Structure 1
């Protein structure tokens, strides 16, 4: 049946600013980019060239016109094996982060993208 997560759509105010955030601040790569018309691009980014799962950085304004009820706050949990390093690097590159949470079941922190969308980064060991 389902064996992978393929794409997660994140609705963004400005695709170029979103691309800059994910590529320049978090080290993602552009996996696919193609014009979809005069004012929009299909834009996918991922943690590496080899990673299957991608984020689709989709125009919020376009989706509001196409299907307003589809826009929701993203709930995405990312994984890392080096939480301390990731936390420091995000802070150094100007990513808004909350305090590190050290729980009995794992260490994690919340971070925000250029539009204020909230994400969680959790350490997998």
Structure 2
């Protein structure tokens, strides 16, 4: 059956701004990019070259034309082994982050991308 999460689509207002955010502020790598027409590309980014799962940075306006009900807020939980370092790095890079939350089941924080989408980063031990 299903053994991996392959891709998660994030609908963005500006693909180039989104690519810049994920590559230069969060530290992801560009995994794949291909033009899909005059004003749109298929862009995939991921945490490393070796990581299988990627984010697809897809044009929100294009998806609203194709399937308006498909555009919704992403619900994505990322993992890290060093939450303190990740938190400080994102703050230094100008990422909007909420306070660290220390819970019995783990430490985490939320952060926002260039379009105001909220994500959660949790420490895996």
TM class by shorter-chain length? over 0.9
Aligned counterpart, 2:77: 77
Aligned counterpart, 1:60: 60
Aligned counterpart, 1:108: 108
CA deviations on 1:73-123 (whole Å, 9 max, x unpaired) are 000000000000000000000000000000001000000000000000000
Structure 1 segments, 4+ long, off by >6 Å, are none
Kindly indicate whether residue 95 of structure 2 is the aligned counterpart of residue 98 of structure 1. Answer: no
Q: TM-score, normalised by structure 2?
A: 0.99
Q: 2: CA distance between counterparts of 1:105 and 1:22?
A: 27
SS at 1:36 equivalent = strand
**Structure 2 residue runs without a partner (length 5+):** none
Q: 1: CA distance between counterparts of 2:96 and 2:55?
A: 19
Paired residues for 1:15-34 under 5 Å: 15-34=15-34
**Structure 1 residue runs without a partner (length 5+):** none
Q: TM-score, normalised by structure 1?
A: 0.99
Aligned counterpart, 1:35: 35
What is the Cα-based RMSD across aligned positions, in Å? 0.3
Aligned counterpart, 2:44: 44
